[in-house]
Every structure is written in C-alpha cells, then in structure tokens.
Amino acid sequence: MTGASDSEARRFAVAFRSFLEWVHSEQAGARERNEVAGLVRDFLGEGALDRSVVTRSLPVFEHVNLQTALDAWSQEPGREVAVHGISIPPHHATVNLQQLVTGEGMPPLRLSAPALVDLPNGPGSTLACLHLAVLLVTDANGHYVVMVSGPGEHDQTLDVEIAGLSVEAAQGLHARLGDLRSELNVYRGHVIEVSAAPMGGVSLEFGDIPLTAREDVVLPEAVLARVERHALGVAAHREALLQAGQHLKRGLLLYGPPGTGKTHTTRYLIGQMTRYTRFILTGRALQVIGSAAALARDLQPAVIVLEDVDLVAEDRSFGRGSSPVLFDLLDAMDGAAADADLLFVLTTNRADLLEPALAARPGRVDVAIEIDLPDAEARQRLLALYGRSVPLRLTEDDTREVVERTEGVTASFLKELLRRAMLESLHENAAEPAVTATHTSRALDDLLDSGQQLTRSLLGVGNDPETLPAGGGLGSLPPQRGRGWVTYAQPRSGSQRFVR
C-alpha cells in the first residue's frame, strides 16, 4: 500500500469542501422552505431570538378548558388571532415553539388547517379543540405567538407555549388563561367520573345525574335524615355557617354489609346536590385522589364520593414500606381549607379495615353512619318499591310471609328476588305474567338454598351466615363461616361506632 500523492490529496480536499458547502446550502434551503418556521419568524420579526419561549404544561383533562379559555380570550376586544395548523410528515417527532422560532432541526413542516380533537364539554356536547396549532396574536402587547400541543400517542402532556413576549408578560398571559380555564371550567356543576389514566394521569368523564328519589332509598327514617342533615343540611345553611365561623368541609362515612344501599344512597345525594360539582372515584381511581381533591377545591362547592375505600386500605402506592393509598386519601381530605365547601362521602363494607387509619388521621370523617340490613318494615317497603314494575299479586299474608322468610337478607337480595319471581311467572305464562306467592316462594327457595351461597356472593345479595335466614320455613342453613367467598367482616356493634 502506498500513500496518496499530494495532488490526489489536494483534489480530495477540494471535493470535500464543495460537498460541505452543498450540505449547508441544502440545510439553509430547507429552513427557508419550512413554511411554519418561516411564518412564525416573519410574524415575530427581528429580535425574536432574544426572547424566551415560556411554556406551561397542563394536565390532559384541561384540554377542553384550555380551548374554552382560548376561545373567550381570542374574542376579547382589541385582539386579533390567526390560527394555523402544522402538518408534520410521517415518522417525524413533533416540534415545539422554540424550534419554530430558531428554525433549527426542523422536519419539513407544512401549514395546514389545524388538527382538532373533539372532546366532551358537557354531558351531551363536544368541543373541537386545537391539537397542534400556532396562534399568531396581535393586541396591545404587540405581535406574539401562542402554540398549543395536545397529548400524543407517547406523551401525555398538554403544552401551551408563548413566544415574542417578555417573560413577565408571558407569565401574565399564562395566568390569565388559567383564570379563564377556572372561570369557564366545563366540569363545574356536573357529575364527573374520575379514573386513573396511564402514566399517573387523571381522566374525567361526564356522568349521568342519578334520578334516585328519596322514596327509592329504603332506610330507617332516622338514618336517612342523618345522612341528609350532614350532606344537604350544611349545603342549605352555607352562608349562615360561614358567617358564624363554622367550617363547611365535611366527611361522611357510610358503612355496612354489601348490598344494603351505600352506593344507592350516594346516588340519591348526588342527584340532590345540583349546585355542586360531583366527583365519583371507585377502585383504581382512588389513587388519583390528590388531583381530584385539588380540582374539587377549584370547583367548589363540590362533593367527592370515594367508593369502597377499603379497596385501598392496604394498597401501597410505591410498594412495601410506603404509606397505604388510604393514608394519601385521608391526607387529600385534609388538604382543603376548612371553609371550602367540600363534602367527602366514603363508602365501605369493611369498616374494620378502615378504623385504624381513621383513628391515626382523625378529623377527616365527622360522621359515620351504619347502613344495616333491612328490618321487617324496610323489607316490606323494598318489596313494594321493586314490585312497582312487576305485576305483583301478593295478598297481605303472602307479603308478610316473604318478609318473615327474608329476615337477614340485604336490600339487593329483595330486588333480585322479585326479578327471579318475575322470571318464574314468565316461565309459567309468558303472555300474561302475574307474580304470585308461588313464584316468590320458589324464587326464595332457590336463592336461599344452602348450595347457592356462591351464587348469592356473585350477585352481591348478602351472604353473612350469621344473619341469613335459618328456619322460618326455609330449612336451616349450615353455618358456613370461613368459606372464602364470605367477604363481609364488619364488626357488629352499635350503629354509631365512628361518630366523633
């Protein structure tokens, strides 16, 4: 092998230099040709690079509120806003406003109509929200650009970026948009179902307003009145309480066996509290209680229903050694100012699991109310309630017998009983069904059959062997304590155990 001659090396150097010049000129050309970067830089004019781009990241559920705020803000007098979409070629990463201002490292972007995402802004309506767009703004502050980048497939962020303003003015604009988001918040006053989104996010959905009427909630009058006094009474006397220096924030715990109407009662309350923003958290959603409570504080007066809190009693957010989610939940309940009009309603059928946590973090729950198995009078009312939609042909004696035989069952058991009795009567005469004592009695035999314990569990209609009917014409149920599916373990004691 011999080395290259001098002339060969010179020729290579010349060729390489012209190659580099070509690369540079191509890049410069691409920059010039980049419509979006060109538009932004032309609009901002000289000195655009001397000003910082100021970004604020928002939770994804704020997307619809951001659009609502931008719409209102754009229409303020003395402001002109031109909205442009950005089309990014396939397989290119998204861009930010800093890149558009400098024009560096740009994929070949094109101007287009803005990409929109249609998001719910009410129980039956949607709002088309900017997904990726630049807003060229002219107002008293001069010329500046606002860019909106919605969440992508891989990043769950919503960014608002501002270029062309001083840092202070940009912060002021972010704050103004924040105020508008809060003022015009589309979630205010609605029923909102909260769930945990990927990567620690929170997702909100508009829920239906429950139509549960007072007479549909079969509880002893004293119990229901107490629930109402605590939840609705404070709401009714809000101003007077505040003037008297009394706090409005309150926590109500409904506890008792499964199927007795804890969820049913919360549905009734939610239906009544029409002036309130009503959040419902169940299961995994309880983990995002922190964000939900913060949101509720912004949107007060608000109710936060935390269903089946025992599910997170032993669940640790960051593995062993960290505090249980239940503690986070109780801390979130305490974070709000005392004069915030917030009602927390917790439900559980494992009060025993909850009690130590509540004792360790006192002051969160002011009233605990036991929702117990229905007594004879309640069972009769339940039969009447769920018999309303059934062609029920029971004499007084028949009804009395059903009431007697169902001692110890849950309310949901009685509901299921009527459904089954209806099926029995349909089997007999599909054309003209009529539910008689024969049908209720057959359905009862079936449901209370000792071999049907698992079925009862699956139906959530009560299974506590201590309370399920034994005798009274049923045949006796063998005691089944310790069977895996007997989940209810609430200590049976006075009905006001937790009242502080």
Residue numbers at the binding site for ligand ATP (CB under 6 A): 216-219, 258-264, 308, 347, 349, 382, 411-412, 415, 460
218 binds, among Mg ion, ligand ATP, none (CB under 5 to 8 A by kind): ligand ATP
**Least distance (Å) between residue 268 CB and ligand ATP:** 9
Minimum distance, C-beta of residue 224 to ligand ATP, in the bound complex (Å): 9
Looking at beta carbons only, is 263 or 440 nearer to Mg ion? Answer: 263
34, 149, 185, 263: residue in contact with Mg ion (rule CB under 5 A): 263
Residue number with CB closer to Mg ion (101 or 354): 354
Smallest gap from Cβ 58 to ligand ATP, in A, equals 34
Output the smallest distance, CB 71 to ligand ATP, in A.
Answer: 40
Picked from ligand ATP, Mg ion, none, the partner binding residue 415 (CB below 5 to 8 A depending on kind) is ligand ATP
- State the binding partner of 41 from ligand ATP, Mg ion, none, CB within 5 to 8 A by kind: none
For ligand ATP, which is the closer residue by CB, 263 or 300? Answer: 263
Nearest approach, Cβ of 452 to Mg ion (angstroms)?
Answer: 22
Q: From residue 452 to residue 491, what is the string marking binding to Mg ion with x (rule CB under 5 A)?
A: ----------------------------------------
Q: Rounded distance, CA 469 to CA 190, Å?
A: 42
CB of 448 to ligand ATP, least distance (A): 17
Phi, psi values for residue 148, rounded to 5°: -115, 125
| Interaction partner, residue 60 (Mg ion, ligand ATP, none; CB < 5-8 Å by kind) | none
Q: Which does 165 bind (CB under 5 to 8 A by kind): Mg ion, ligand ATP, none?
A: none
Residue closer to ligand ATP by CB (options 145, 444) is 444
The minimum distance between CB 492 and Mg ion, in angstroms, equals 19
For Mg ion, the closer CB: 477 or 486: 486
Segment contacting Mg ion (CB under 5 A): 145-153, 157-165, 256-264, 470-478?
256-264
Name which of Mg ion, ligand ATP, none residue 411 binds, using a CB cut-off of 5 to 8 Å depending on partner kind.
ligand ATP
Question: β-pairing, 367-370 with 250-255?
Answer: parallel
Scan residues 92-131 and list those touching Mg ion (CB under 5 A).
Answer: none
CB nearer to ligand ATP: give 158 or 411: 411
* Distance from C-alpha of 394 to C-alpha of 389, rounded to nearest angstrom: 14
The distance of closest approach from Cβ of residue 463 to Mg ion in the complex, given in angstroms and rounded to an integer, is 15
Closer residue to Mg ion in complex, CB, 161/307: 307
Tokens of 136: 């060229």
> Which of ligand ATP, Mg ion, none has residue 259 at its interface (CB below 5 to 8 Å by kind)?
ligand ATP
* Minimum distance of Mg ion from residue 307's CB (angstroms): 6
Nearest distance from C-beta of residue 147 to Mg ion, angstroms? 45
Q: Which residue is nearest to ligand ATP (CB)?
A: 261
Of ligand ATP, Mg ion, none, which one does residue 457 interact with (CB within 5 to 8 Å by kind)?
Answer: none
Q: Tell the burial category of 458 from Cβ atoms under 10 Å away from its Cβ (0-12, 13-18, 19+).
A: exposed
374, burial (CB in 10 Å: exposed 0-12, middle 13-18, buried 19+): buried
The residues binding Mg ion (CB under 5 A) are: 262-263
